[in-house]
Amino acid sequence: MGIREEIVRAFSKTPRPDDSELTSCPCEECRGVIHSFLGKRWSQLQTAGIEDSGSMGMLSPRGFQYFLPGLLLLWIDHPDDYPSMIDAIVARITFSDQTNVGRITISEEAKTRKRESVQKVIQQLGTRQRSVVADFLVSLESTHPHVPEVWKSAISNLRDGQARPYSQSTVDSWLAENYGPRFQSHWLAKSPIARSDGQADGDSEPPLTRKRR
């Protein structure tokens, strides 16, 4: 069975939350961010599309679980159209062990909220669903640009069903060694993984596709 069939089978019985449950925040601003998901089923994302992969950072755990198969299939079919989507997905299932990430200072309160958010997402996913998503990430390791420490943490969290952070010092060392300090700062600012809100800052270009120094 191929990865597409595995994804569909694992998520086929996931009930769709009401639109009011798609984000944990009921304010109009947050609902506006996820407008591309409102009134749609996950299978419709392949034709209707989504405007911003960062918007998935505003989905509630139930909303993320429901739309995850559609997001994965959308990326499989149109990877060039959604270059930051995989990073945005990974950002929902892991987090940094530090409060100072490059030039970004994350408060202890925000770090706690992020850890709790990741734990809720992982707990919301069924065992088979977590396994399929982990297998999907593993299948991309040799071809998709990524930070090894971050993906190792995400895959481990999915396998174990626990929210554990990645080592920021290991990430910093890897980025500096492979891309240089200037690029390291760029990744920290641009990647949805590095940001506590799970959204990219500025353009949606995936940082690690840029040439190494």
Taking the CA atoms of residue 59, residue 19, residue 79 and residue 188 in that order, the dihedral angle to the nearest 10 degrees is -20
Confidence of residue 198 (pLDDT cuts 50, 70, 90): very low
Residue 203 has pLDDT above 90, yes or no: no
- For the range 139-144, what are the long-range contacts, defined as Cβ-Cβ under 8 Å and sequence gap of 24 or more? 139/3, 140/86, 144/86
Q: What is residue 110's predicted lDDT score, i.e. its pLDDT?
A: 77
210 within a domain of the structure (yes/no): no
46 within a domain of the structure (yes/no): yes
The larger pLDDT score, comparing residue 56 to residue 9, is at: 9
Q: What is residue 159's predicted lDDT score, i.e. its pLDDT?
A: 98
Confidence of residue 91 (pLDDT cuts 50, 70, 90): very high
Listed range (53-57, 141-145, 209-213) with the worst mean pLDDT: 209-213
Q: How many domains does the chain have?
A: 1
Listed range (1-15, 45-59, 172-186, 195-209) with the worst mean pLDDT: 195-209
Structural domain of residue 86, as residue ranges?
3-204
3-state secondary structure (DSSP) of residue 53: helix
The larger pLDDT score, comparing residue 90 to residue 209, is at: 90
213 within a domain of the structure (yes/no): no
209 within a domain of the structure (yes/no): no
Query: In residues, how long is the chain?
Result: 213
Helices (H) and strands (E) in the chain, counts: 10, 2
64 within a domain of the structure (yes/no): yes
212 within a domain of the structure (yes/no): no
C-alpha to C-alpha distances, 33 to 29, 71, 206, nearest whole angstrom: 6, 16, 20
131 within a domain of the structure (yes/no): yes
166 within a domain of the structure (yes/no): yes
Sign, CA dihedral 25-30-35-37, equals negative
What does the pLDDT look like over 42-76, one tens digit per residue?
A: 998 865 556 555 678 889 999 999 999 999 999 99
Give the type of residue at 192. P
The larger pLDDT score, comparing residue 50 to residue 157, is at: 157
